[in-house]
Structure 1
Amino acid sequence: MTAYLITIFLSLLVAVAELFTKFQDEPFDVIRKWPALLYLFVNLLISCVCLYILTKTDIFGVAGEIDQLKAALTAGLGSTVLMRSKFLKANINGKEAAIGPEFIINVFLETLEKSIDRNRAMERKKMVEECMADIDFYKTKDYVVTTILASSQIDSPETARELINSTTEIAESPMEDTDKSYALGYLILDNMGEKFLKTLFHDGNRDRFTR
């Protein structure tokens, strides 16, 4: 029983770490979505099957605690390797595809990523519209660039140049002023995150930048 608990713990730990690494924007939201739960369950199931096979075939022996620990470690960590294996590669519609367990895992992860992106897109839209609704783009753009460059201590000339160029492109675009303000909001969000966007135009200075 202890061997199975160790196997379950290790397989879930490795699977959760993989999900967190892939979805860094909302890591703790990931494991509440059904594709992630299914992915964790499949990891757990495969690891338990591996442990069962290892103990029944007596590869490590089952007499002592050390032997069972070896089997549990192999099954718990080996399930991830097994799920990432591919038997061969095929060219489908000009794209290289792996044939094997990895193909199924990639489908799970892509489904999860799309689900997160859709939810995240709605949250970002609401946040930008709330923060930038009455903000004048032309009053704000220089302040935004200066504040981001100064507060984040950006040392890379390329990063600074990209920020300035993006702001200039928004200014020169044929968009309406409101849309330019929203585009600037997304630029702030991408570069500095939610907290920075929400506090950039606070009560003390917001009147300076409103239309």
Structure 2
Amino acid sequence: MSQSVSESMTDVDSLNARKTYERIAFLYDFLDAPYEIAWKRALRRRVFEGLHGAILDAGVGTGCNFVAYPPGVKAFGCDASAAMLEKARARADKLGQLVELRCSDLTRLDWPDATFDGIVATFVFACIEDHEQAAALSELRRVCKPGGEIRIVDYRLSPRPLVRARQKLMSAWLNGTFAATYTPKTEDYFDQAGLEVIDETFIRSDVLKMIRLRPL
């Protein structure tokens, strides 16, 4: 595939994902509320635990992570969807949370090299097409300081037959509503992006994994 065709495919996929979230932004918190109340909210502080300095909430969405930011950090957030960011700004105002929000695609981040001490992406790479994963990871590495840390939290397909069967039944809903999948292949691109795995931990049964990385 030529570079121009590959780039066009990437642009189309980015546009499609952005349109999905532009369309559902006003309903996103309502649609996600059952999961947020049942288990997501309890995990968010664990995901950000120990981070300090300047942190980037990559794919910030409507700002559900705001309540989990450690005290004293300088917080930034980005999302490709302007409508989702509008909801995030309203949430930040309501919470009195100081966070600089920018409309920026993960494959083309709007910050200089080595800006952040910590970067977190929760439920983001499951929404990124396979052929865009390396570019997004490379951008996170680029804006991460040497010695900094990147944390990725996303779904995984369970090896347990009954749980896997349920996930497969839910796949159409997950993809159609949130443009996401239970089978992101993010790990396949760590070496290409210049990232080293520090730790991998399942933080909810065997269906939700947190991967801690650092730039090589």
Q: What TM-score do the two structures reach when normalised by structure 1?
A: 0.24
TM-score by structure 2 length?
0.23
User: Who wins on radius of gyration, i.e. which is larger?
Assistant: 1
More strand as a share of residues = 2
Higher helix residue share: 1
